[in-house]
Amino acid sequence: MKRVRDRKIYVCSNCGYKSHKWFGKCPQCEEWNTAVEIEEAEEDVSSIVDFKSSTATVDVQKRLTTSMGEMDRVLGGGLTPGSVVLVAGGPGMGKSTLLLEYASALATKGYVYYVSGEESVPQMLSRVKRLGVEREKLLLTSTVSIDDVLASIKKKPIALVFDSIQTIHTSGMNALTGSISQMRECTVKLVEYAKTSNASVFMIGHITKAGNIAGPMMLEHMVDTVLYLEGESRSGRRILRAIKNRFGPIEEIAVYEMRKNGMIEISDPSRIFADMESEEVGNAISIVVEGSRSLMINVQALTTPNHKSNPIRIARGFENARLLMLTALVSNYLRVSLENRDVYLNVLGGLKISDPGVDLAVIAALYSSAKNITFPSKTAFVGEVGLDGRIRTVQQMQMRVAEARRMGLKRLIVSYQFKEDDVTGVRTVKEAITKALSGDE
């Protein structure tokens, strides 16, 4: 026996907090005026629930792998059947291009439906032709009605793509397309469809200027995987990052180059994120770990005199608070006064680094700029730096050393705690700089 009763609830459009009472300020995320009234169907169910023994056998579902190896890796080693993936990114980032390419790659294995609420079929076809991704089993349509789509599926799909979640709607609701309740309801239907049909569903989501998925954060909770496509709009470089994955590790990244003929996978990103021949003032190389891969990167610092106002400290691709701390360490342990200097820090290539192993390279870059000296070429720095000026070792050092060797680096300055041939172990920032400059082992 099933009784369904509608009731009104209020949901925070920022974080998804639910309440029966209206609120001006969300008690969870503390944002103002984010309460949105929605109708929630309350199901009063008294039917029998089937429990399964944990020793029951199941068919282990095989992941689908494609010719787009980088995309497969970000998904956790291929696409899990029946999963729901949200791909979010800013305007013009290349979301439609990337998913059309991926849909085409998947369509070698079965039917893939690509639904666009933003482009007409001729527009989609011209993109397909430009990218050279025609496939018999890649089916395109232009509609905004999710119900029409689900009712029209004749050939069993392996995947569906909805471009975008903000432009599709489901009937039977009084809410506008793009509103929180519409997106929520559409997502509920798509999740249900994916779990019952075992087809995977991709949803494209637009991102606001502040970097949030336009609309509710709650979408992120409802789906299995969330991928962000980011990059600088002027450069062609794009980074696809998994920020949530129920079926794989997060922090995996894939790097692409946006070209006329589509998004080209860069399977060896170290070559574009670091310029190891550069012996410019203010440059330092490091090896970071992103997901299951190590990458060589280049950190650049610039320090300029400022005697008039409070000095500026700006970091791009690196946490500002951490830059402040490392700046203080440089002043304190390397006896370089940065008090009357502006400090700018940049991680080359639009990468955002949270790996603590990059600390020592940041210190080296700051020192190089402030002292107007350069380090010998092919020297890299890896280590976390504490407030005591001591260098601590970081995770996955073996992987970093292997990457340094592969990239032909000559010296790797690391914490003395990590012992290995061909690396230079140091205890303090002072020792690290001295050894890097002298070339001593």
96 binds ligand ATP (CB under 6 A): yes
Closer by beta carbon to ligand ATP, 206 or else 390: 206
Which of the listed partners (Mg ion, ligand ATP, none) does 91 bind, with a CB threshold of 5 to 8 Å by partner kind? Answer: ligand ATP
Instruction: Give the phi and the psi of residue 250 in degrees, each rounded to 5.
Output: -95, 175
Of 78-86, 96-104, 300-308, 408-416, the window that binds Mg ion (rule: CB under 5 A) is 96-104
Three-state DSSP at 390 gives strand
Of 94-102, 176-184, 371-379, 425-433, the window that binds ligand ATP (rule: CB under 6 A) is 94-102
**Per-residue DSSP letter, 156:** P
Q: Residues 16, 89, 248, 282: which binds ligand ATP (CB under 6 A)?
A: 89
In this structure, are strands 424-426 and 411-415 parallel, antiparallel, or unpaired? parallel
- Per-residue x/- track, 253-272, Mg ion (CB under 5 A): --------------------
38 contacts 8 by C-beta, under 8 angstroms = yes
Distance CA 434, CA 430 (A): 6
Distance CA 107, CA 333 (A): 58
Distance CA 251, CA 332 (A): 33
Distance CA 22, CA 37 (A): 8
Closer by beta carbon to ligand ATP, 2 or else 260: 260
Residue 425: its H or E element? strand 424-426
Q: Residues 29, 92, 387, 430: which binds ligand ATP (CB under 6 A)?
A: 92
- Joined together, the tokens standing for residue 17 give 């907090």
Which of the listed partners (Mg ion, ligand ATP, none) does 406 bind, with a CB threshold of 5 to 8 Å by partner kind? Answer: none
Binding-site size for ligand ATP (CB under 6 A) equals: 12
Of 64-72, 89-97, 153-161, 413-421, the window that binds ligand ATP (rule: CB under 6 A) is 89-97
The least CB distance from residue 209 to ligand ATP, in Å, is 13
Instruction: Give the phi and the psi of residue 302 in degrees, each rounded to 5.
Output: -135, 125
In this structure, are strands 200-206 and 84-89 parallel, antiparallel, or unpaired? parallel
The least CB distance from residue 295 to ligand ATP, in Å, is 24
DSSP code per residue over 49-68: PPP--TT---PPPPPB--S-
The least CB distance from residue 233 to ligand ATP, in Å, is 7
Site for ligand ATP in 128-167 (CB under 6 A): 130
Which of the listed partners (ligand ATP, Mg ion, none) does 155 bind, with a CB threshold of 5 to 8 Å by partner kind? Answer: none
Which of the listed partners (ligand ATP, Mg ion, none) does 89 bind, with a CB threshold of 5 to 8 Å by partner kind? Answer: ligand ATP
Of 91-99, 212-220, 329-337, 352-360, the window that binds ligand ATP (rule: CB under 6 A) is 91-99
91 binds ligand ATP (CB under 6 A): yes
260 binds ligand ATP (CB under 6 A): yes
In this structure, are strands 384-385 and 391-392 parallel, antiparallel, or unpaired? antiparallel
167 binds Mg ion (CB under 5 A): no
How many CB atoms are closer than 10 A to CB 295?
26
C-alpha R_g of the chain: 26
96 binds Mg ion (CB under 5 A): yes
Residue 138: its H or E element? strand 138-142
The least CB distance from residue 120 to ligand ATP, in Å, is 14
CA-CA distances (angstroms) from residue 403 to 210, 220, 265, 419? 35, 34, 19, 17
Which of the listed partners (ligand ATP, Mg ion, none) does 117 bind, with a CB threshold of 5 to 8 Å by partner kind? Answer: none
- Joined together, the tokens standing for residue 193 give 């469809």
The least CB distance from residue 397 to ligand ATP, in Å, is 37
Of 34-42, 93-101, 143-151, 211-219, the window that binds ligand ATP (rule: CB under 6 A) is 93-101
Site for ligand ATP in 336-355 (CB under 6 A): none
Binding-site size for Mg ion (CB under 5 A) equals: 1
Which of the listed partners (Mg ion, ligand ATP, none) does 330 bind, with a CB threshold of 5 to 8 Å by partner kind? Answer: none
Can you give the binding site for ligand ATP, defined by CB under 6 A? 89, 91-97, 118, 130, 206, 260
Can you give the binding site for Mg ion, defined by CB under 5 A? 96
